[in-house]
């Protein structure tokens, strides 16, 4: 479960970073808008790097606290992304809001919930084997 949590965290954060880089490119070379998308994009990229770090630590069985904190950040950013950014995204196809909230959100939430659950359930794995060789 620890490896699955690490892989899910890395996959989600890499896709978020790639999407946000595309969003920031559109922000800088697209029509003039306010500065709030820039702040949101940079915050998501910074959080994505932290989540990648937590995913790598999950795979290496290092620092349960960082893995747990990054899984919480993943869950929070997943919920914020799905509830605020997805419906108002210029890249998102013109879907009705009911499709977004009743199809896209329920299918995407396991990516945020499963790593959190796996890290919490397997805490003993970090405590049991804390030797430097792993």
pLDDT at 88: 58
Average pLDDT along the chain, 134 residues, taken 10 residues at a time: 85 80 71 64 83 89 86 83 62 65 72 82 70 53
pLDDT at 18: 79
Provide the residue ranges of all domains of the chain, joining segments of one domain with +.
2-126
User: Does residue 29 contact residue 5 with C-beta atoms inside 8 Å?
Assistant: no
pLDDT at 16: 77
**For every residue of 37-101, which 3-state class applies, written as one string?**
HHHHHHHHHHHHHHHHHHHHHHHHCCCHHHHHHHHHHHHHHHHHHHHHHCCCCCCCCCCCHHHHH
pLDDT at 19: 74
pLDDT at 89: 59
- Tell me how far apart the alpha carbons of residues 33 and 30 are, in angstroms, rounded to a whole number: 8
């Amino acid at each position: 479960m620890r490896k699955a949590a690490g892989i899910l965290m890395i996959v989600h954060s890499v896709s978020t970073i790639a999407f946000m880089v595309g969003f920031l490119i559109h922000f800088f070379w697209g029509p003039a808008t306010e500065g709030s998308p820039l702040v949101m994009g940079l915050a998501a990229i910074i959080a994505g790097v932290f989540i990648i770090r937590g995913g790598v630590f999950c795979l290496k069985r290092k620092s349960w606290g960082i893995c747990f904190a990054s899984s919480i950040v993943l869950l929070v950013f997943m919920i914020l992304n799905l509830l605020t950014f997805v419906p108002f995204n210029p890249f998102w196809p013109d879907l009705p809001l009911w499709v977004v909230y009743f199809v896209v959100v329920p299918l995407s939430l396991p990516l945020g919930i499963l790593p959190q659950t796996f890290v919490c359930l397997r805490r003993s794995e970090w405590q049991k084997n804390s030797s430097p060789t792993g």
